[in-house]
Amino acid sequence: MQKKRAISGVQATGSLHLGNYLGAIKHWVNMQEEFDCFFFLADLHAITIPQDPDNLRNSIYNSTAAYLASGLDPKKTTIFAQSDVKEHAELSWILNCMTPIGWLKRMTQFKDKAGKNQEIASSGLFTYPVLMTADILLYNADFVPVGEDQKQHIELARDIAGAVNRKFGKELLKVPEPLIQGNTTRVKSLRDGTKKMSKSDTSGHSRINLGDSRDEIVEKIKKAKTDSLEYISYEESRPEIANLLEIYGEFSGKKIETIVNSYIGHGFAKFKNDLAEIVSENLGPISLKYHQYSSDKGFLQQTLRNGKEKASKTALQTICKIKESFGFLNL
Ligand code: AQP
């Protein structure tokens, strides 16, 4: 039986971190047998906010190295850079012309990312969800593994696919389903438990990168923000402690309640020491492989070239079908 297809990506905007790993990549690794997976480096999405060219280039290479180090296998999964398959931008333009502005105005992520600067934010940031729609529809994906926060974008992709299909009276584009990853942890910043851990946070101490050394992990966890109470508890009013407990739970496989109970009578020093130990034990092998892969640019380039070749075949079929339907000559 033919495998169902799944597609997703990470923005190439910096170093991949614990949040990207626990919230996305770890699940992708487990999907590789069951699904026909396409996981890309979202470099076109990255430039919706200004990027330094050298940083962008490094982010693409380093994110590829992080994918491989985490266990994505190019023999099973198509790994490629989004900008290398030009049909993403091409389909995105056509779909932009099918998307009412009102639909985009409802997208909460634009409001979150642009904040008070909506007038000076790039129009690319505003139309980002249409590019994301093109990323998905280009490959006839059945499923898009995403976090809860991305559900609205998948709804939009479904609406746009529906609009195109209605226009032509047939199923030209497959309507995708979100694959919400169970009770995926939303990893928070180590400096502010109300914000998610993010690549673009200016504080390097807010996140644990997949390439961090043991010493860096220990230092970041030691310096992680806590509060003035001296005991460990899992409460909404203590977001920083809750975040550390959730990370502990993810890596140890223990229930939060069990972890809390095992620290009765202990302060933060022992808890943080143990947590640093567990995190570095789990991330150590990934960090080691990350440094091996990222120092082998030739291998990374070859991986991305192979992925581009595979992805382009499917993307070309879709774009030809769409262009002909819309009335382009496509000579
Ligand atoms: N903190 C997080 N906890 C859990 N999951 C997370 N993801 C990102 N941060 C966390 C998941 O990783 C996948 C790829 O995300 P992305 O990098 O494309 O976009 P993002 O969510 O905007 O991540 P960042 O780090 O905050 O990037 P910047 O700083 O560039 O905006 C997604 O599945 C996401 O849910």
Q: Are 28 and 39 in contact (CB under 8 A)?
A: yes
* Domains of the chain, start order: 5-186+297-326 (3.40.50.620), 211-292 (1.10.240.10)
Regarding the beta carbon of 16 and ligand 1, being less than 6 Å apart is answered: no
pLDDT of residue 182: 60
Q: Where is 58: in which H helix or E strand?
A: helix 53-70
CA of 73 from ligand 1 middle (Å) equals: 21
Q: Is 270 a catalytic residue?
A: no
Q: Is 113 a catalytic residue?
A: yes
pLDDT of residue 113: 85
Report d(CA 85, CA 121) in Å as an integer: 26
pLDDT of residue 112: 85
Q: Which atom of ligand 1 is nearest to the CA of 207?
A: 1
pLDDT of residue 183: 63
Would you write out the chain's pLDDT as a tens digit for each of its 331 residues? 899 999 999 999 998 999 999 999 999 999 999 999 999 999 999 999 999 999 999 999 999 999 999 999 999 999 999 999 999 999 999 999 999 999 999 998 888 888 888 899 999 999 999 999 999 999 999 999 987 778 899 999 999 999 999 999 999 999 999 997 766 678 999 999 999 999 989 999 999 999 999 999 999 999 999 988 989 999 999 999 999 999 999 999 999 999 999 999 998 999 999 999 999 999 999 999 999 999 999 999 999 999 999 999 999 999 999 999 999 998 8
Q: Are strands 78-81 and 177-180 parallel, antiparallel or unpaired?
A: unpaired
Regarding the beta carbon of 200 and ligand 1, being less than 6 Å apart is answered: yes
Enumerate residues 6+ apart whose C-beta is below 8 A from 93. Answer: none
Report d(CA 318, CA 269) in Å as an integer: 56
Beta strands across the sheet bearing 78-81: 78-81, 36-42, 5-11, 143-146, 177-180
**Test site for ligand 1: of 8, 13, 20, most ligand atoms within 8 A of the Cβ:** 20
pLDDT of residue 199: 92
Regarding the beta carbon of 10 and ligand 1, being less than 6 Å apart is answered: yes
Report d(CA 130, CA 30) in Å as an integer: 28
Q: What is the pTM of this model?
A: 0.95
Q: Is 321 a catalytic residue?
A: no
pLDDT of residue 231: 92
